[in-house]
């Protein structure tokens, strides 16, 4: 296992986010992590990348126990990962070329000629070599996401992580990003983790899937297995039904009582 999360517990302000989560990502495969909003999908990515620490449980990445690593060791491990953030997180004062070159300049002493070739190669891979001199403000949403992907792969990571890569994309950009995720995983032989609530898209590309609900893994397996689950909560999420055990409303006092209390005050 390249990523092995076992029995993880995590809470924020006394509110439990995870209560014994187990997730594994295998080399050369695309692992999808799904769940309704607020189930901790992005939080799990932060735990895997050692941005935050689990309260309990074990997290191993590339064979290393994150709890046993010091700061310099964590930084070294992160160099083996690539991350595509939800909003792309491009540096607005740098053009496309320099955005992609940034991790290389920060982490290596490669000569300028080699950086030039490396960046152009990655931009070519995402179809944006001709946009190298554009600024982030000149890019469409789909183009910005592809530049961010080029930056995520420029250091040839062993683990590539996508946080909600399909949000806000038009159908054409969505199709391009899906093909790129699949192609990058196959061409580079890396371990890919995709967090998304877009069931149909994720089911198209994922080899293994996990559905998070109420602090635990509600279901795991191939996408087809999740669709065939007998669990009402799993079926509700996979079909997008409004009726089922997963509530739409955040826990709150009785609605009528709260309204009348406001009148009395």
pLDDT at 29: 92
Q: How does the average pLDDT of the chain come out, rounded?
A: 84
Residue 119 lies in a domain: no
Residue 168 lies in a domain: no
Residue 91 lies in a domain: no
Q: Between these two residues, 75 and 245, which has the higher pLDDT value? A: 75
Residue 42 lies in a domain: yes
Q: What span, in angstroms and rounded, lies between the C-alpha atoms of 258 and 265? A: 11
pLDDT at 5: 94
Q: What is the pLDDT of residues 149-197, one digit of tens each?
A: 899 888 888 999 988 887 777 787 788 888 888 888 888 888 999 988 7
Domain range spanning residue 18? Answer: 3-80+187-264
pLDDT at 263: 63
And the tokens for 102?
A: 């940034």
Closest by CA to 162, choosing from 265, 44, 20, is: 44
pLDDT at 244: 53
Region 74-84: what's the mean pLDDT? 88
Q: What span, in angstroms and rounded, lies between the C-alpha atoms of 60 and 77? A: 11
Is it the case that residue 93 has pLDDT exceeding 90? Answer: yes
Give backbone dihedrals phi and psi of 142, rounded to 5 degrees, phi first: -65, -40
Distance linking the first and last C-alpha atoms of the chain: 58
pLDDT at 100: 94
pLDDT at 211: 86
Residue 51 lies in a domain: yes
pLDDT at 170: 76
Is it the case that residue 57 has pLDDT exceeding 90? Answer: yes
Beta strand 15-25 with 30-34 is: unpaired
Could you tell me the CATH number of the domain that includes residue 24?
A: 3.40.50.300
Q: Could you give the number of structural domains in the chain?
A: 1
Q: What span, in angstroms and rounded, lies between the C-alpha atoms of 159 and 62? A: 9
Residue 132 lies in a domain: no
DSSP labels, 178-205? HHHHHHHHHHHT-EEEEE-S-HHHHHHH
Is it the case that residue 81 has pLDDT exceeding 60? Answer: yes
Tell me which H or E stretch contains 174. helix 171-188
Buried b (16+ CB within 10 A) or exposed e, 165-189: bbeebeeebbebbbebbeebbeebe
Sheet with 208-213: list strands edge to edge: 81-84, 159-163, 191-195, 30-34, 208-213, 216-221
Region 95-113: what's the mean pLDDT? 92
Region 84-88: what's the mean pLDDT? 77
pLDDT at 176: 80
Q: What is the pLDDT of residues 223-260, one digit of tens each?
A: 677 666 666 666 666 655 555 555 555 667 777 777 77
Q: What span, in angstroms and rounded, lies between the C-alpha atoms of 246 and 241? A: 10
pLDDT at 60: 94
Q: Between these two residues, 48 and 225, which has the higher pLDDT value? A: 48
Q: Between these two residues, 256 and 104, which has the higher pLDDT value? A: 104
Is it the case that residue 47 has pLDDT exceeding 80? Answer: yes
Residue 206 lies in a domain: yes
Residue 74 lies in a domain: yes
DSSP labels, 136-153? GGGS-HHHHHHHHHHHHH
Is it the case that residue 144 has pLDDT exceeding 70? Answer: yes
């Amino acid at each position: 296992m390249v990523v092995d999360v076992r029995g993880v517990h995590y809470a924020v302000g006394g509110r439990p986010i995870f209560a014994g989560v187990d997730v594994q990502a295998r080399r050369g495969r695309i692992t999808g992590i799904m769940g309704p909003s607020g189930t901790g999908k992005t939080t799990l990515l932060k735990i895997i990348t050692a941005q935050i620490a689990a309260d309990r449980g074990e997290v191993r990445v590339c064979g290393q126990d994150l709890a046993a690593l010091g700061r310099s060791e964590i930084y070294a491990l992160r160099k083996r990962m690539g991350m595509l953030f939800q909003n792309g997180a491009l540096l607005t004062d740098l053009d496309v070329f320099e955005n992609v070159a940034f991790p290389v300049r920060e982490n290596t002493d490669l000569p300028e000629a080699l950086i030039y070739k490396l960046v152009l190669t990655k931009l070519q891979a995402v179809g944006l070599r001709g946009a190298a001199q554009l600024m982030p403000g000149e890019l469409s949403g789909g183009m910005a996401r592809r530049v961010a992907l080029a930056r995520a792969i420029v250091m040839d990571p062993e683990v590539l992580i996508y946080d909600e890569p399909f949000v806000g994309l038009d159908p054409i950009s969505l199709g391009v990003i899906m093909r790129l995720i699949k192609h990058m995983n196959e061409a580079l032989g890396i371990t890919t983790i995709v967090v998304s609530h877009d069931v149909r898209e994720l089911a198209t590309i994922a080899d293994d899937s996990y559905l998070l609900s109420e602090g635990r893994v509600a279901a795991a397996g191939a996408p087809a297995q999740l669709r065939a689950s007998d669990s009402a909560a799993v079926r509700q999420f996979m079909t997008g039904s409004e009726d089922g055990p997963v509530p739409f409303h955040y826990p709150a006092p009785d609605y009528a009582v709260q309204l009348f209390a406001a009148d009395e005050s």
